[in-house]
Amino acid sequence: MLILPSRRQVLTGLGASALAAGSTGTYAFAIEPRFRLAVTSYAPVLPGWTPGLSLRIAAIADIHVGEPYMPLDRVAEIVAATNALKPDLILLLGDYPAGRRVTWTRVALPDFARVAEGLRAPLGVHAVLGNHDWWDDTDALDARKGPVEARRVLEARGIPVMENDAIRLLKDGKPFWLAGLADQQPFKVRRDLRSLADIPGTLAKITDDAPAILMAHEPEIFPEIPDRFALTLSGHTHGGQVRVFGHSPFVAGYHDPRYIYGHVVEGRRHLIISGGLGVSNVGVRFGVPPEIVLIELGSPRTA
């Protein structure tokens, strides 16, 4: 026998659904992007990693400083949380200014760099640039030359920005290489993006067989990365900003679906894609809270 719901039951159900939808919307637009902060840990086993070389890396991506989602006090909170992890090395993976679509009040990049200067790690803080760092600096973009403002202000605070460059570092007397690619999407020529990334030029800076880690803002370049790089670290995608049941429905057609978020292994090569910290295009996050990525290499868990 079919029993139809009463008018009161229908209205109660509609009200509950509207309340749930409103609560979800409030969380996605106001709570998760602005007030959540996660630490996501990885401990990949890398082929060719030097035995006994233990390295703790904190990676920060897509800060997108600007109000209301990323004011300076939020940046200071991220700096403090990163330092509390006691990493050996801190890596900044690009996109420091916020896009204009999600910015009510701009925050000057020199002010951001002043707060970022508080990051502390024995092996230093190193950075690469992202597409928004170029797009935000119209003078550099129009002239098609650098350094863009983000590079100038970071380096003025003692944070080197790596563009197709590599540096040899030592941890407990054991060497490894850290490399950084220039951005892959700074310029549009007609409908195509012109890349500044130079993989052969970057490889040429590596002069021995110590293991190498690569910073590349956009992860789509991963298929071109040679086995010489044991690990590539990227941001850019924000994990799709909305992630449900392991899928990011709103980035289809914009990013290679293989390289949206998390740990990817292809052959001997490993890629870790951060979900980032800020927002772009739309001020929303749901199921992919702002995160600091913590990578532990050569730890007892990965031995």
Q: Report the pLDDT value the prediction gives residue 26, as an integer from 0 to 100.
A: 84
Name which of 20-24, 114-118, 262-266 the model is least confident about.
20-24
**No. of helices (H) and no. of strands (E), the chain:** 8, 13
Q: Report the pLDDT value the prediction gives residue 10, as an integer from 0 to 100.
A: 34
pLDDT over 90, % of the chain: 67
Q: Is the pLDDT of residue 135 over 70?
A: yes
Mean pLDDT, the chain, integer = 87
Q: Report the pLDDT value the prediction gives residue 141, as an integer from 0 to 100.
A: 64
Q: What tens digit of pLDDT does each residue of 192-221 get?
A: 667 899 999 999 999 999 999 999 999 999
Q: Report the pLDDT value the prediction gives residue 79, as an integer from 0 to 100.
A: 98
The structure tokens 């200071």 sit at 76
C-alpha span between 171 and 54 (Å, rounded) = 8
Q: Is the pLDDT of residue 18 over 80?
A: no
Q: What is the 3-state secondary structure (H, E, C) of 192-239?
A: EEECCCCHHHHHCCCCCCCCEEEECCCHHHHHHCCCCEEEEEECCCHH
Q: Is the pLDDT of residue 20 over 50?
A: no
The DSSP bridge partners found for residue 174 are 171
Q: Is the pLDDT of residue 17 over 60?
A: no
Task: Provide the 10 A C-beta neighbour count for residue 294.
Answer: 17
Q: pTM of this prediction?
A: 0.88
Residues in CB range of 178: below 8 A, 6 or more apart: 89, 91, 126, 162, 166, 167, 169, 212, 213, 215
- 179 closest CA partner among 152, 160, 205: 205
CA-to-CA dists, residue 65 to 100, 130, 246, angstroms:
11, 13, 27
Q: Which is higher by pLDDT, 15 or 45?
A: 45
Q: Which is higher by pLDDT, 284 or 246?
A: 284
Q: Report the pLDDT value the prediction gives residue 100, as an integer from 0 to 100.
A: 81
- 67 closest CA partner among 36, 108, 115: 108
Determine which helix (DSSP H) or strand (DSSP E) holds 138, and give its type and residue range. helix 138-143
Q: Mind listing the domains of the chain with CATH numbers?
A: 10-297 (3.60.21)
Q: Is the pLDDT of residue 16 over 60?
A: no
Q: Report the pLDDT value the prediction gives residue 248, as an integer from 0 to 100.
A: 74
Confidence band of 5 (pLDDT split at 50, 70, 90): very low
Q: Is the pLDDT of residue 21 over 60?
A: no
Q: Is the pLDDT of residue 4 over 70?
A: no
What mean pLDDT do residues 140-146 have? 60
Q: Is the pLDDT of residue 54 over 60?
A: yes
C-alpha span between 204 and 22 (Å, rounded) = 54
Determine which helix (DSSP H) or strand (DSSP E) holds 114, and give its type and residue range. helix 109-116
What mean pLDDT do residues 67-91 have? 97
Q: What tens digit of pLDDT does each residue of 145-189 get?
A: 557 999 999 999 999 999 999 999 999 999 999 999 999 988 765
Q: Report the pLDDT value the prediction gives residue 160, as an integer from 0 to 100.
A: 98
What mean pLDDT do residues 269-280 have? 96
Residue 271, token pair as written in the block: 């890629």
Q: Report the pLDDT value the prediction gives residue 199, as an integer from 0 to 100.
A: 98
C-alpha span between 136 and 244 (Å, rounded) = 31
Q: What is the 3-state secondary structure (H, E, C) of 17-41?
A: HHHHHHHHHHHHHHHHHHHCCEEEE
What mean pLDDT do residues 8-19 have? 39
